[in-house]
A and B are shown apart, each in its own frame.
Chain A
Amino acid sequence: MRALVVWCPDWPVVATGSTGALPAAVIARGGVQACNQAARGFGVTRGMRRRDAQSRCPGLTLFDANPERDVRAFEPVLAAVEALRPGVAPLRPGLLAIRAPGRFYGGEELAAATIAERLVEVGVRDVRIGIADDLFSAEQAARLAEIQDWRVVEEGGSAAFLAGLPVDVLATDSLPDSGDLVGLLRRLGLRTLGDLAALPARDVLTRFGAYGAKVHRLARGVDPVQPATRTPPPDLVSEVVFEPALVSVEAVSFSVRRTAERFVAELGERGLVCTALRVEAEADDAKRSLLSARSWVHSRWFGANDVVDRVHWQLQATPAGVLVGAPVGLVRFVPETVEPAAAHADGLWGGGTDELIDRGVARVQAMLGYDAVVVPVRQGGRSPASRQLLVPWGERPSAVRAPDLPWPGSMPSPAPSRVFAEPWATAVVGPAGQPVTVTDRGVVTAVPTRFHSGSGSGWQVIDTWAGPWPADEQWWDGSRGTAGMVARFQIVGVDGRAWLMRCDGGQWWTEASYD
């Protein structure tokens, strides 16, 4: 069983997407975690402090370490190798192993050439390949190979190949405490792996235990460990092609039902449910241009009917039910978030109230449209309307301002029970009938005595009032109508009703009512 190791050097730097021409480094805990060849040319090395690295190379581009980014960026590499040879074992980001193909590509060297060529096509330029009997030797061979080249250790030649290597090669991330180990071996006078391998295995085991025995096996090139290969991730995307293309929303909704059912069933077979779904519709032309794409979130998880509903809502672009753009040639369901079904399973006695609510809400949504049912959320803000947010049922509220912050200029409790989405234009006058305004310094020009709002009938006498609460909202944005200084008042009419009014550059608005 021969092993083939593909090594992409400086992977954390490659994963950032920086070009190899400019010096770049990835910084973790204030030190250089990885740097590229250009940076090494300036004398930057691994483990160097950030400040030292920058003093050696002032033009050094720095990135923060992000292990997830490394893994994510390595995924296309794994997929590319997987397409050539299944059974890929990702060792760590930047390093993978497969069983070396013996004859399929016409020999090991040709296989390595094929893989290197494919990876360069994918966009990974620096790739080195090593082939040997065991994993450790193959990795060392890859490290000795040139860029886009390979090095083959012939069968049974691992021990001879490793014997010439210094013990420093043991200092890798895959071996725990390898730094201490290398130091110890050097102090013992063991300079090369050959020196270590020459020791009797029993003595090494007696002196250093199982850990030492493992290192000894590595050095002799007889470590039998086979890496765990991964199962390729399942392709959960479903799509349906319409031949001929469909022009009406109803027809599309009807035709996607079976695909939607299969989509949900396939997820169900893997014990998964989809909680966030992306629906894409493509036109029937040669370019396969995207007609519409949108992500949907479900409050629980998507059933087949929910998926069909989302397609219907998304494509319902015009009232007549006919699409604006080209006819739809393809609809694709991309699960954006899948979760284990166990986390969403119904209890023994049914799903309880929430499931019922979902059903009722779905009926209302079917009648009135997706946005008609909303969930109220409190948020921070100064005007009463900005202190609340109505989120469509099933969507997660995003960009909610924290309600607990002070929000200077906001109105004190109690909150008004009616908040008008569109404020009413109102007139407020003083004792002599003069309009009341607030100066730039926050002074009320006259005592408000009467008001007349758009919806009310006639003038009403003001019993008492409080204010102003000045707020300087979004003064930096001159294009907005509400920008600049506004002042809010609480105004109580003689009928006992209280109102919240805003004076905005001489114009009064009724924003809310303490009903």
Chain B
Amino acid sequence: MSAPIVLAPREQTLQQLQERIRGMQDGVPRVPLPTHPVLDGLLQLRTGGAYEVDRASLGMALLATPSAEGSWVAVVGAPDFGVEAAAELGVDLTRTVLVPDPGEHWLETTAALVDVVGVVLLRPPVGVTERTASRIAARLRKRSAALIVQGEWPGAEARISLRSSAWSGAVAGHGRLRSRRVVLGVQRGSAPVREVELWFPSAEGPVVRIEYGVERPALDAPRMEALA
């Protein structure tokens, strides 16, 4: 931990230092996980974090990058997990474990899998209390895993949601669903929602970001990689 503190020049110093302290408090460094490139600049998944998503496909997209880079992933409580869609989004099925119906043992199951896999996608069957969430959070930090929750999770680091979505390709009985233009919102704590427009999926398959040709001001999009 003796590495010199490198601060991004245009980042607010205070916020960065707070983040560093938060990372050091737990003793275990919070390693950045491979994150989908379309979230570049908006969100960096880190071990020990819990992230809320509101759609099954978003959860799969977040699983895909760590899975493709060699990490094992687990899906708990999603009996309707679309295997083919997950494979299309890039999840490596040979390193995927599903527990479709954990029933009342969903918490123990999640805890057991957090011990061994890199990322767990969880759909809790019931509301989650603060106490439960903090117990899992401690485990996540200790085991260097990340949790993606489809639903509500107290103390989640960020909430990733689809603000709007529009399918294209199908017109009154003709064509087929080809691509979906979505506005994806990332909300960290009580900060304002930051949005990005995506083709999710694009007509060619992968998720791509819709760029308007103008870079957003750097102040609006802090470079989180500098903290890695």
Contact = CB atoms under 8 A, between A and B. Distances in A.
Contacts of A514: 57, 167, 177, 180
Nearest to A353: B72
Contact of B97 (A357, A447, A496): A357
A465 B172 contact: yes
Contact of A417 (B60, B102, B167): B60
A357 B101 contact: no
A421 B79 contact: yes
Contact of B102 (A372, A418, A420, A444): A372
Contacts of B166: 496
Contacts of B79: 421
B116 A357 contact: yes
B167 A367 contact: no
Interface in B153-183: 164-167, 169-177, 180
A387 B93 CA distance: 14
B86 interface: yes
A377 B91 CA distance: 12
Interface stretch (A95-103, A136-144, A282-290, A407-415): A407-415
A360 interface: yes
A496 B85 contact: no
A413 B79 CA distance: 21
Interface in B182-228: 201, 205
A376 B116 contact: no
Contacts of A496: 164-167
Interface string B47-61: 000000001110010
B contact residues, range = 35 or more
Contact of B93 (A360, A364, A377, A416): A377
Interface in A240-295: none
A364 B113 contact: yes
A512 B100 CA distance: 16
Contacts of B82: 384, 388, 415-419, 512
Contacts, number: 149
A515 B55 contact: yes
A504 to B, nearest CB: 19
B95 to A, nearest CB: 8
Nearest to A418: B80
B98 A417 contact: no
A515 B167 CA distance: 11
A373 B98 contact: yes
B173 A419 contact: no
Nearest to A356: B116
B69 interface: no
B131 interface: no
B130 interface: no
Contact of A372 (B56, B101, B117): B101
Interface in B69-119: 72, 79-88, 93, 96-103, 105, 108-109, 112-113, 115-117
Contacts of B87: 378, 415
A414 B56 contact: no
Contacts of A421: 79-80
Contacts of B112: 360, 363-364, 367
A490 B176 contact: yes
B100 A378 contact: no
A393 interface: yes
A360 B87 CA distance: 23
Contacts of B205: 413-414
Interface in A371-391: 372-378, 384, 387-390
A364 B74 CA distance: 12
Contact of A412 (B80, B109, B176): B176
Interface in A469-515: 490, 492, 496-498, 512-515
A363 B108 CA distance: 9
A359 interface: yes
Interface string A436-480: 000000001001000000000000000011110000000000000
B81 A376 contact: yes
Interface hub of A360, A393, A496 (most chain B Cβ within 10 A): A360
Contacts of A182: none
A420 B80 contact: yes
B170 A492 contact: yes
Contacts of B172: 447, 464-465
Contact of A360 (B86, B113, B167, B177): B113
Interface in B16-55: 55
A448 to B, nearest CB: 8
B177 A490 contact: yes
A359 B112 CA distance: 9
A466 B168 CA distance: 11
Contact of B170 (A384, A466, A512): A466
B99 A414 contact: no
Contact of A374 (B60, B100, B169): B100
A496 to B, nearest CB: 4
Given A368-B99, A492-B167, A417 B177 contact: no
A360 B99 CA distance: 12
A492 B177 contact: yes
Contacts of B93: 375-378
Interface hub of B84, B93, B171, B205 (most chain A Cβ within 10 A): B84
B97 A368 contact: no
B114 to A, nearest CB: 9
Contacts of B116: 353, 356-357, 359-361
B198 to A, nearest CB: 14
A466 B99 contact: no
Nearest to B79: A421
Contacts of A356: 115-116
A375 B98 contact: yes
Contact of A368 (B80, B105, B176, B177): B105
A463 to B, nearest CB: 8
Contacts of A359: 116
Given A419-B82, A514-B57, 11 more contacts: A357-B72, A364-B113, A368-B103, A372-B101, A374-B100, A376-B98, A413-B88, A415-B84, A417-B57, A419-B80, A514-B177
8 contacts: A364-B109, A368-B99, A373-B99, A374-B98, A414-B88, A490-B176, A492-B167, A498-B177
The 7 tightest CB contacts between A and B, nearest first, are A360-B116, A466-B170, A388-B83, A415-B84, A417-B57, A376-B83, A417-B85
Interface of B: 55-57, 60, 72, 79-88, 93, 96-103, 105, 108-109, 112-113, 115-117, 164-167, 169-177, 180, 201, 205
